[in-house]
């Protein structure tokens, strides 16, 4: 072409990369394109080269033109059939493939960038400069160092400075989890999954360990009270809740619910199914490892998003890693704070978390936050007497036999409702037996699904490592 490179024009129709093409159409000037010769909105090749150079700086790295030490040793000593090839792709191919521009336009961009980065001293020393025609490039590894450091600061603050997260911690959690429902995995699945009617998670399983007959019978009589999430005064601290904050720990499979309570041999485990009666939104921690962002490399906002994605890919493992009992008081602080934030402050608000079980690979754990953990009270007529039995007898002696008997009062004629007044209302508020919970009901226990498991054996899986012991004779002046 007779024109100088910096005078060449390229139109938005000749740029296949959609983000870049839209920007040229929006900000370009009407001109004749040097590549398709149509009149349209155009950028100069110089302007296009500037954007491509920026994209390369953020997302690509130039590979070495020489083998590294390991590859050199393979060539010289260990692998006579080994053939070394430079890593990455030729720079011209990367330019054309990334911007999706005609071959001639790619060559003009490369010519401009190679002249821009030409270095006489490097050329004299035989070193390759950026955008040299023979150079190769490959995608950069995502660097989440800043995010990792912020998370470590967040954990340290909770452990050593304040149990309640302040403005800085709130801002950090908002940056991590804000808009997380708009992200997806590499195969297009959402990080926030639905549970409830019409979904793949319509019921949850929950187990509780008993070692005495009396509390076992009480649980069988009123499973809605004894197998649901505990009242606040009895709620002990867990991975996703602080002491006094009642949440519902459940599972998607019976075997997971049984394994997670870690019952001792000789104990009894009551297992029940709970129907999820309203739509819920759960953050899938297991899916974070495959978080993906398919934004344009020419979008200046993409790099920080990709760094966030790189951090999210490690976060699920951080939040679900095994914690030793002696370390739980401190190591659970961060996950407890995250659960509180997701339930009360995040945009969007979430109802719970789903994550893989470390005790069983046949299902997943689900934690429903306090606001989504209310279990509906069983429909029992007023005055119903309930009793339970755990054994029966025959000529061979006692054997396990579980049943519950509900004795309801006889039906009576309905009496006219009393006129409302202030004193009955005050009496209801003062009555400790009256349920004052204003939360929406989420779960409905299914009494016919209740099972009692007698724990006979607990299997332990482990990796065994031998200990090698050596004995040496002491030497004089060994400290020298």
The predicted pLDDT at position 1 comes to 41
3-state helix, strand, coil in the chain (%, to 5): 35, 20, 40
The torsion region of residue 381 among left (phi > 0), alpha (psi -120 to 50) and beta comes to beta
Tell me: cis bond preceding 368? Omega within 30 of 0 counts: no
CA–CA separation, 19 and 318 (whole Å):
35
User: DSSP per residue over 406-426, as a string?
Assistant: EEPPPP-PPPPPPPP-HHHHH
Q: How many CA atoms lie within 13 A of 302 on its CB side?
A: 17
- Helix, strand, or coil here: 338? helix
pLDDT digits over 344-382, tens only? 999 999 999 999 887 777 889 999 999 999 999 999 988
pLDDT digits 0-9 by tens, 22-58: 999 999 999 999 999 999 999 999 999 999 999 999 9
Residue 176, pLDDT > 60, answer: yes
Return the SS3 of 49: helix
**160: pLDDT confidence band, cut at 50, 70 and 90?**
confident
Mean pLDDT of the chain: 87
**pLDDT of res. 218:** 95
Length reported for the chain: 480
pLDDT at 357: 83
Enter the pTM of the model.
0.78
Pick 216 or 240 by higher pLDDT. 216
**10 Å Cβ neighbour count for 22?**
14
- Evaluate whether 453 touches 269 at the Cβ level (below 8 Å): yes
Which neighbouring-strand residues pair with 365?
251, 355
pLDDT at 436 over 70: no
Helix segments in 117-253, DSSP class H? 120-124, 145-160, 167-177, 213-221, 223-226
d(CA 131, CA 113) in angstroms, rounded, equals 6
Token code pair at residue 385: 């007497």
Contact 432, 254 (CB under 8 A): no
Q: Which residues fall within 8 angstroms of residue 189, CB to CB, at 6 or more apart?
A: 287
């Amino acid at each position: 072409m007779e024109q100088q490179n910096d005078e060449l024009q390229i139109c938005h129709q000749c740029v296949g990369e959609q983000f870049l093409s839209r920007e040229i159409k929006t900000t370009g000037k009407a001109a004749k394109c040097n590549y398709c010769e149509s009149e349209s909105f155009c950028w100069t090749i110089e302007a296009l080269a500037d954007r491509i150079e920026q994209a390369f700086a953020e997302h690509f790295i130039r590979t070495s033109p020489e083998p590294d030490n390991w590859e050199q040793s393979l060539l010289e000593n260990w692998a006579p059939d080994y053939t070394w090839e430079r890593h990455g792709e030729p720079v011209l191919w990367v330019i054309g493939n990334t911007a999706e521009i005609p071959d001639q336009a790619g060559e003009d961009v490369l010519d401009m960038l190679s002249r821009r980065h030409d270095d006489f001293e490097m050329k004299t020393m035989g070193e390759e400069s950026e955008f040299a025609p023979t150079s190769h490039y490959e995608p950069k590894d995502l660097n989440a160092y800043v995010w990792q450091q912020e998370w470590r600061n967040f954990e340290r603050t909770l452990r050593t400075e304040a149990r309640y997260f302040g403005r800085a911690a709130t801002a950090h959690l908002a940056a991590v989890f804000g808009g997380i429902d708009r992200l997806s995995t590499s195969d297009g699945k959402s990080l926030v999954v639905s549970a409830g009617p019409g979904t793949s998670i319509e019921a949850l399983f929950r187990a509780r360990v008993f070692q005495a007959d009396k509390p076992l019978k009480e649980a069988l009589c009123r499973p809605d009270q004894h197998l649901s999430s505990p009242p606040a005064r009895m709620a002990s601290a867990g991975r996703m809740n602080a002491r006094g904050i009642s949440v519902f720990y459940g599972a998607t499979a019976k075997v997971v619910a049984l394994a997670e309570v870690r019952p001792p041999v000789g104990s009894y485990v009551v297992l029940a199914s709970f129907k999820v009666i309203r739509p819920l939104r759960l953050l899938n921690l297991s899916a974070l490892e495959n978080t993906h962002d398919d934004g344009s490399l020419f979008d200046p906002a993409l790099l920080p998003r990709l760094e966030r994605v790189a951090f999210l890919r490690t976060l699920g493992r951080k939040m679900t890693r095994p914690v030793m009992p002696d370390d739980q008081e401190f190591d659970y602080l961060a996950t407890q704070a995250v659960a509180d934030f997701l339930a009360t402050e995040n945009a969007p608000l979430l109802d719970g978390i789903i994550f893989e079980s470390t005790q069983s690979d046949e299902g997943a754990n689900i934690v429903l936050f306090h606001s989504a953990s209310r279990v509906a009270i069983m429909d029992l007529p007023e005055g119903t007497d309930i009793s339970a039995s755990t054994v029966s007898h025959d000529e061979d002696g006692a054997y396990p036999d579980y049943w519950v008997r509900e004795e309801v009062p006889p039906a009576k004629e309905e009496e006219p409702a009393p006129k409302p007044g202030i004193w009955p209302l005050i009496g209801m508020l003062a009555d400790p037996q009256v349920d004052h919970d204003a939360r929406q009901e989420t779960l409905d226990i299914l009494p016919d699904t209740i099972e009692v498991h007698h724990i006979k054996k607990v299997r332990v899986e482990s990796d065994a490592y031998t200990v090698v012991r050596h004995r040496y004779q002491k030497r004089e002046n060994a400290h020298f």
